[in-house]
Structure 1
Amino acid sequence: MNLLWIALGLLLLPALWLVVLPLRRAAEVHDAQQAYETEQRDEAQNVAVYRRRLASLEAARERGEIDATRFEESRLELDRSLLEDTEARRHSPLKSPRAGRILVPMLLVALVVTSLVWYQREGAEGDLALFAARQEVANSPDGSLPMLIERFEEQAERQPGNPKVWLSLFPLYRDSGQFEKAIAALEQLIELEGRQVNLLAQLAQMEFFVANRTLTDDVQMLVDEVLEQDPRQPTVLSMLGLEAFDHGRYEEAIDYWRRAIAGMNNPDSAEALRNGIAAAQQRLGIEPEEAGSGNEGPSLNVSVSLAERLRSQVSEGDTVFVVARDVKGELPPLAIERATVSDLPFEVTLDDSDAMAPMASLSKVDEVNLTVRISSSGQAMPQPGDLVGRAGPVTLGDVQGPVNVVIDGIVD
């Protein structure tokens, strides 16, 4: 930041020099103007012309060409003309070349203050602070995603009106699984930038996943608002396809995903949706469009059971979440399936159609960690008292048969 202010100071120097330049030339200009006015002979020429015309009038009167009355009128007209010419050409006295010098430092101060105020309002100082925070974490031996989030949260406190702060925080919260904070960041961004379609679509998607992939009233209102402005919005159409797939409406899911692909610019996201379409077609018992192309994507069979000692702590209607995450934990969940305790034990297949978002799916990684959690509240985020089981890392493609996960722990 110090380099920024040094650069601004260097840029101001030429401007200040231009302001001072007229003051340095003031004495020279004053002397030249005074010399010009001293040498000017316009008044003498006017008087000479006046005398010649008056002599002509007198000669005409003596020859009898004009009478005394006409002579007096003409002479008065000449007198008036001489006075007017003399008054028009009269110059006010030149001021001292030192006059007005006080204005120069005032202008210099005003220029500097105006420049700094303008930069504070319109400049990119806040964006530079964000860049510096990112570079600090990138260059730190202990740099991590939590550290980057902490640095950006500090910037959010210092410059809450900068939309780029919230635009940077949103994906960090999302990728670290802090979905409530991701929603809050999106809402703050929408408040600053207005209800833009792409922002509303991302907000609808986040609230949809936080609500366990359910179209709540709030999510539906956002969906309606987005589709009213852009019926081809791919994020919302992808989400609607996922909701239809979860509830067995496979033909509807295929229709949504095909419309989403038509509006997508990201080939990876489009490929993930094509894999979802192929999975939906398999569920319908028809030949997948992409069959034989090698693009179906990886899948993972998971066998889930509950330790007998914990059976008394759950109810038949409690929700069971089966979640696959990347080993580093940097991405959103790669695949999620839901069931209930009454289904235990059960076997489930995870694939790209179970992804929370097209940019985070099983196709993006080679290894995953598996977490199975029983939630009495039905909340997507772990709560103290939830029962949990884990397995991994599991290498996709190398697993023979289902991966066994036993729910045998309790979330602190």
Structure 2
Amino acid sequence: MTLLWIAFALLLLPALWLLVAPLKRARAVHDAQRDHEANDRTAEQNVAVFRRRLASLEEARERGDIDAARFEEDRLELERSLLEDTERLKRAPLKPSASGRLAVPVVMLALVVASALWYQHEGAEGDLALMGVRQAVMSDPQGSPEMLIERLEEQAARQPENPNVWSMLFPLYRDSGQGDRAIDALERLIEIEGRHPQLLAQLAQIEFFVAGRRLTERVQSLVDETLEKDASEPTVLGLLGIEAFDRGAYQEAIDHWRRAIAGMNDPGSADALRQGIQIAQQRLGQAPEGGAATASQGPGIHARVRLDEALAGRHDADTPVFVVARDMAGELPPLAVARLTLGELPADLVLDGRHAMSPQASLAQVEQARLVVRVSAGGQAEPQPGDMFGQRAGVAVGETAGEPVEVVIDSVVE
């Protein structure tokens, strides 16, 4: 920022010089004007011309060329012309050359203050500070996403009305598994920028995943508002496709995903939806579009989920079961999420890139993962008392053609 203000000062110097330069010439201009006025003979010349014309009129009257009435009329015209010429020659008293010198520094100060205030209001000082924070963290040998979040939170406290600080914090919170903070950051961004369809769609998406891929009343409200503003918004259509797929409405999922692909600019996301369409068509017993669907998308985990016999009969068959793959350190958001029902257990499934919650977090980023399976009686994203769960750590991520890794649901949340 210091270099920026130095640059501003250098740019102001020519403008300030233009204000000061006339003061150096003021004395010479004053003396030249005074000499000009002192030696001006214009009034005397006008009087001499008047006298000559008046004498000519008198001679014309004496010769009889004009009568008395014409003489008086012409004489009055000459006198009127002389008065007008004399009036124009009247000058105000010449002011001293030092007059007005105090106004120059006042104007200079006003120029500097006005320039600084204008930049504070219209400039991008806050964005430069954000860029400086990002560069400082990236160049720090111990730089990390946590450090960047901490520094950006400091900037958010200093410039809470800058939308860019919230747009930077939102994906960092999301990718680090801080769903609630990601929602808060996105809501703050919407307050500043307005309820644009793209922002509402992102808010609906993150709330959908935080709620355990459930279409809550809050998510549905955001979806409705987004589609009212933009009926072809791809993020919301992709979300609706996921929700339909999870409840087994495969044709509905296909329809939503096809509409989403039509409005997408990201080839990677579009390819992921095409993979989903192929799987949905397989579930419907249809021939997949573009040939057979691949068994997996990228490295993944082949898992088998079963319920311990001691816990059988505790919940209904349609109770949702969430299968979640997380990184071993627990620093990233869920890498893959799949949904089953209790009645489908035991079940084999493959977790891979198709089950990623976002492009920034997938199984392709890790070599080992921790599988967590939870039977959610209330369908909530967070564990509730009475939920049943099982987990297994250190599961290798890679080829999915081999024997499945078994995860047994054998515990109850107290």
Residue 147 of structure 1: aligned partner? 147
How does the TM-score come out when normalised to structure 2? Answer: 0.88
Contact 2:234–2:260, Cα closer than 8 Å, also in 1:
yes
In the alignment, which of 376, 397, 402 is matched to residue 399 of structure 2?
397
Letter of the 2:315 counterpart: E
Give the Cα separation in 2 of the matches to 1:307 and 1:141.
Answer: 48
**TM superposition shift of 1:319:** 5.8
Describe how 1:150-165 pairs up with structure 2 within 5 A.
150-165=150-165
Give the Cα separation in 2 of the matches to 1:207 and 1:359.
Answer: 17
Give the Cα separation in 2 of the matches to 1:234 and 1:188.
Answer: 22
Q: Which moved more, 1:33-42 or 1:2-11?
A: 33-42
Describe how 1:4-403 pairs up with structure 2 within 5 A.
4-68=4-68, 70-292=70-292, 296-298=296-298, 299-304=300-305, 316=315, 320-326=321-327, 332-339=333-340, 346-358=347-359, 360-362=361-363, 364-365=364-365, 367-374=367-374, 378-381=379-382, 389-397=391-399, 400-403=402-405
Q: Which moved more, 1:91-100 or 1:186-195?
A: 91-100
Taking a change above 3 Å as real, the CA distance of residues 382 and 176 of structure 1, as seen in their structure-2 partners, is farther
SS of structure 2 residue aligned to 1:25 = helix
Unaligned runs of 5+ in 2: none
Q: Which moved more, 1:6-15 or 1:242-251?
A: 6-15
How does the TM-score come out when normalised to structure 1? Answer: 0.88
Contact 2:297–2:354, Cα closer than 8 Å, also in 1:
no
| 1:142-164 superposed Cα distances (whole Å, 9 cap, x missing partner) | 21111111111111111110000
Taking a change above 3 Å as real, the CA distance of residues 124 and 84 of structure 1, as seen in their structure-2 partners, is same
| 1:205-249 superposed Cα distances (whole Å, 9 cap, x missing partner) | 111112221222222222122222222211011111101100111
Contact 1:197–1:226, Cα closer than 8 Å, also in 2:
yes
SS of structure 2 residue aligned to 1:304 = strand
Contact 2:302–2:402, Cα closer than 8 Å, also in 1:
no
Contact 1:241–1:257, Cα closer than 8 Å, also in 2:
yes
Give the Cα separation in 2 of the matches to 1:13 and 1:295.
Answer: 69
SS of structure 2 residue aligned to 1:209 = helix
Give the Cα separation in 1 of the matches to 2:356 and 2:183.
Answer: 19
Contact 2:390–2:410, Cα closer than 8 Å, also in 1:
yes
Contact 1:324–1:368, Cα closer than 8 Å, also in 2:
no
**TM superposition shift of 1:25:** 2.1
| 1:169-200 superposed Cα distances (whole Å, 9 cap, x missing partner) | 11011101111111111111111111111001
Give the Cα separation in 2 of the matches to 1:152 and 1:184.
Answer: 14
Taking a change above 3 Å as real, the CA distance of residues 21 and 403 of structure 1, as seen in their structure-2 partners, is same
Q: Which moved more, 1:344-353 or 1:110-119?
A: 344-353
**TM superposition shift of 1:368:** 4.5
Give the Cα separation in 1 of the matches to 2:11 and 2:29.
Answer: 29
Letter of the 1:392 counterpart: G
Taking a change above 3 Å as real, the CA distance of residues 256 and 293 of structure 1, as seen in their structure-2 partners, is closer
| 1:119-159 superposed Cα distances (whole Å, 9 cap, x missing partner) | 11111111111112112221222211111111111111111
Letter of the 2:371 counterpart: T
Contact 2:296–2:352, Cα closer than 8 Å, also in 1:
no
Contact 1:275–1:352, Cα closer than 8 Å, also in 2:
no
| 1:95-127 superposed Cα distances (whole Å, 9 cap, x missing partner) | 111110111110111011111111111111111
**TM superposition shift of 1:315:** 5.0
Contact 1:316–1:342, Cα closer than 8 Å, also in 2:
no
Q: Which moved more, 1:234-243 or 1:337-346?
A: 337-346
| 1:237-278 superposed Cα distances (whole Å, 9 cap, x missing partner) | 111110110011111111111111111111111111111111
Contact 2:350–2:400, Cα closer than 8 Å, also in 1:
no
Give the Cα separation in 1 of the matches to 2:408 and 2:257.
Answer: 35
| 1:285-324 superposed Cα distances (whole Å, 9 cap, x missing partner) | 2222243576951453212357799x69x95368643212
Q: How many residues align?
A: 409
Give the Cα separation in 2 of the matches to 1:119 and 1:266.
Answer: 36
Give the Cα separation in 2 of the matches to 1:93 and 1:392.
Answer: 97
Give the Cα separation in 2 of the matches to 1:54 and 1:150.
Answer: 95
Unaligned runs of 5+ in 1: none
Sequence identity (%): 60
